[in-house]
Structure 1
């Protein structure tokens, strides 16, 4: 029986720039940076307690496309939670990251942002994050 989503795989064009974005800009922690059989993958976690979260795994899109052409290499639609949404919003804007408007949706505030490759992700205010 499945009890947890362990990793989300993001296929990126430039792994070094992607690591820079997720770690330096968003503050994710690098759990592993491994190379094996000509492949490199980087595991990142939004928390120090890596096993408590679904981690992101960065793969080289071009290499994966050659190895497994049947895979869908599109960017998944990810929704992150933040317990300090406005601070994150202003921090990303100050770092000149593309962000959408901060909007109210029902009882929640939400905005989207783009990584260095133009992939968009969303963040929702949720105060029960650890």
Structure 2
């Protein structure tokens, strides 16, 4: 009778690296600062682990923007780092207003993050296995 050890190892390896679906939504900022050009033209870049999930549309001349975009990542894993970068669109160079990073956990979570240049980013995510 052949040993079942290789099969058992294969099953155990697949269980330890289980992939999950990440859904990020309800992104909004309160109190973005003004710059020399006027009120901020904000947008958010979204990353999970090494994956670039995209960015929101630019919300022009709004210190309290809210975005309707949702982002999904089908190969997320618990404890991956979710990274959100809030930017101000300008003519030549976009300004980085702040970065929010968090290890993702299974379930639905809601967070606020204080931005380095002023303002508070609010977002929600769901990680399901």
What is the TM-score of this pair, normalised by structure 1?
A: 0.31
Greater percentage in strand: 2
Pair member with larger Rg: 2
Structure 1 or 2: more helix by fraction: 1
Higher relative contact order (CA 8 A, sep 6+): 2
Task: Give the TM-score normalised by the residue count of structure 2.
Answer: 0.31
